[in-house]
Structure 1
Amino acid sequence: MNLPILDNQTESPYVVRPFRRRISRQVMVGSVPVGGNAPISVQTMTKTKTADVNATVEQIQRCQEAGVDIVRVTVNDKEAAEAIAEIVKRTTIPIVADIHFNHIFALKAIEAGVAKVRINPGNIGSRDRIKEVLTKAKERGTPIRVGVNSGSLEEDILEKHGYPTPEALFESAMRHAEIAAEFGVDDVILSVKSTDVRLMIEAYRMLAEKTDFPLHLGVTEAGTSRVGTIKSSVGIGTLLAEGIGDTIRVSLTDEPEKEVEVGKEILRSLGLTQRSVEIISCPTCGRLEVDLFKITGEIEERLKGIKKPVKIALLGCVVNGPGEASEADIGIAAGKGVGILYRKGEVVRRVKEEEIIDAVVQEVMDFVPEEQH
């Protein structure tokens, strides 16, 4: 096998091909298109008591600042059902009503003007109740998400399959998608979530192969920020890399803004959305000669508001440092208490370790147009 020999001035001849997206129908969730080759949107869910309108609206606004596209809110009691209209009125982002058990709350949420209603087939109730919700949704043009969860499957499906299996999740989703079709509701999004990453991957693959519905990806009850991030990245990332998925929600036992950050980073890592600040830093080893943990942490925090894509390399020793730093937009190759600052491959100057953070931040500010700070 003849491999190409590249010198430092030659670009790699290999081109990373974009993922081939599964073709799905498009559903508008408020102003956000889901499916139909639209950009993959990021969702989260509020953690406040919905009846506390001020707290809920404030949390939604923080999620917007983090870059969320769609926000889901639980409508789980009368107080929440009464509050949802005010929440919709006071926010500028599509609000989704999350409904379990009581279909009346779904009707009230649709009347309040939510952008979508999520129903759980395992607990929404009888066919007559579903019909009421679908009829109201069709009248108002409100999309429906059939949100299947492995922990709350219908009893007959669970009895048939004996256990939550990919086939069981698929059957539940299709049953309610078919009911929606019977009543003329075409704006349907499907999800088949599980805490088991392997189970959810297989269930989504079945939906992707056999339907054209837009798919909402997620690992339900993924866990703490650390474990949940890993499980969600593996589950959601695997499917996205196969071209499956139209909108995502990372579920964490953490603030919703954190869910948004992780979701956006999953998309960025696969090249599915534009990256803003990308920091490349070495994992460190015994060769480290500066406090790279502090340097990377502070630079990341100070530059988190930058909107323009900029690649920053922060390297802590002389092995890969000069090469990596020179390939970034802005780079530092550090060693023995000093750092060499690079800009677009050119050496700018030498700085002391205690000056590295300010020097990199200032160089980025000079590199990025002021309106994108």
Structure 2
Amino acid sequence: MKPRRKSVPVRVGNVVIGGAAEIVVQSMTKADTRDVKATLNEIARLKDANCRIVRVAVPTREAAVAMVEIKKASPLPIIADIHYDAPLALMALEAGVDGLRLNPGNIKDPEKVKEITRRAKEREVPIRIGVNAGSLPGRPKEGAGVRPPTEEVVAAMVNAALGHIHILESLDFNLIKVSMKASDPPTMIAANRAIADQISYPLHLGVTEAGPPRTGAVKSAVGIGVLLEEGIGDTIRVSLAGDSVDEVEVAYGIVNALAEKLTGPNLIACPMCGRLEIDMLPMVAEVEKALKKIKRPINVSVMGCVVNGPGEGQHADIGIAGGKKEDEQKLAS
């Protein structure tokens, strides 16, 4: 990866985003926020998956009330996700959340934004200005099977972000993070490139509404991966129509695929072909399951034949290569 773009560090609870900090992986709960037990159980699973920060939706007053208990018991910093209803942001701040996410597309009244900002400033709580292409006012309409011109959408996204940044800065508030999300990687990439040189705040990357696990992982890898390779991005969230723990695993997969130094386990497995002489898929599944319990950097290769197996094994920390007689396990020296 290229050297990271310089950004001002912002602290969310006990986690630093931006500056010289490592890329932070976060996720969002899928449970009904009003169900405190279910939400906390999900947060506990996310922590076990090495998620660093969790965002929680606050769509109602009941959800905002539940945030008091959730925040008290959460092992991870909590960001309250606010849309439409500015008073819910104030309730979330009273609950002690570690951060807010505001959407310029649906909290537009400058006076309401200022009121939230003043309260956040009193508590030193950061605000993410979370721009979504799909919720922008005046967004160009799509034709059947055709996206609106990327340039027009990107310009609208940048203007929305800069407008809210100006409101926050007018109150001498600089605990700001920014995200520029779209459901298609080209727009998301272009929007982040466009704003990266205009601000010094940390950037949160994500392809929003990416889809079910398989297609969502592909879109996220393209959008997030391209930007990280260019040195753009300080924290990431993979958005999948599925388990939030899967989001974290895909996110770390993206980071590990680009990193000079691993941040966790890396499983190398051959795609299989007619040379295969072992029952490889169950073996790969078993190794993958075992690696989920490991947090330290480690390379493990599982290869189905002797063509690349021994070579990959020697470069890995642990290598498994299938042969005619038996599976061969080698520890790299």
Instruction: State yes or no: 1:328 paired with 2:312.
Output: no
Q: Do the aligned residues in 1 keep the contact of 2:265 with 2:298 (CA within 8 Å)? A: yes
Task: Tell me how far apart the structure 2 counterparts of residues 44 and 321 of structure 1 sit (CA, whole Å).
Answer: 36
User: Is residue 308 of structure 2 the alignment partner of residue 317 of structure 1?
Assistant: no
Aligned-pair CA distance for 1:280: 1.5
How do 1:1-373 residues align onto structure 2 when only pairs under 5 Å count? 18-155=1-138, 165-271=153-259, 274-345=262-333
SS at match of 2:48: helix
Q: 1:135 & 1:307 partners in 2: Cα distance?
A: 40
Pick which of 230-239 and 331-340 moved more.
331-340
Number of residue pairs matched by the alignment: 326
Of 283-292 and 267-276, more deviation after overlay is shown by: 267-276
Segments of structure 2 that go 5 or more residues without pairing to the other structure are 142-147
Amino acid at match of 1:105: L
Superposed CA deviations along residues 250-292 of structure 1, whole A, max 9, x for unmatched, are: 0000111110111111111111663433222211100000011
For 2:202 and 2:16, how far apart are their aligned partners in 1?
Answer: 10
- Over 3 Å counting, the alpha-carbon distance change for 1:56 and 1:331 in structure 2 is same
CA–CA distance in structure 1, aligned partners of residues 297 and 248 of structure 2: 18
Equivalent AA in structure 1 for residue 34 of structure 2: A
TM-score between the two structures when normalised by the length of structure 2: 0.94
Deviation at 1:113, TM superposition (A): 0.8
- Contact kept in structure 1, 2:43 and 2:75, CA below 8 Å: no
Change (3 A) 1:115 1:272: farther
Native 8 Å contact 2:56 2:78 kept in 1: yes
- Residues in 2 aligned to 1:141 and 1:80: alpha-carbon distance in whole angstroms: 22
| Contact 2:262–2:298 (Cα < 8 Å) also in 1 | no
Consecutive unaligned residues of structure 1, counting only runs of 5 or more, are: 1-17, 346-373
User: Retained in 2: the 8 A contact 1:154–1:172?
Assistant: no
Q: Structure 1, residues 32-53: CA drift from partner, whole Å, max 9, x if none?
A: 1111121110111000110100
The structure with higher relative contact order (CA 8 Å, sep 6+) is 2
TM-score calculated relative to the size of structure 1: 0.84
Secondary structure of the residue aligned to 1:165 is: helix
RMSD of Structure 2 on Structure 1 (CA): 1.7
Helix, strand or coil for the counterpart of 2:197?
A: helix
Deviation for aligned residue 1:307: 2.8
CA drift of 1:135 comes to 1.0
1:294 shift after superposition = 1.2
Structure 2 counterpart SS, 1:210:
coil
Give, in angstroms, the shift of residue 162 of structure 1. 8.8
Based on CA coordinates, which of the two structures has the bigger radius of gyration?
Answer: 1
The residue type paired with residue 100 of structure 1 is H
Q: Are residues 49 and 290 of structure 1, via their aligned partners in 2, closer, same or farther at CA, if it must alter by over 3 Å?
A: same
* Structure 1 residue 19 displacement after superposition: 2.3
Asked if 2 retains the 8 angstrom alpha-carbon contact of 1:290 and 1:337, the reply is: no
Say which is worse superposed, 274-283 or 199-208, in terms of deviation: 274-283
Shift, 1:335, TM fit = 1.7
Contact 2:256 2:264 in 1 (8 A): no
Distance 1:195 1:273, change over 3 A: farther
% identity of equivalent residues: 47
- Cα deviation, residue 308, structure 1: 3.0
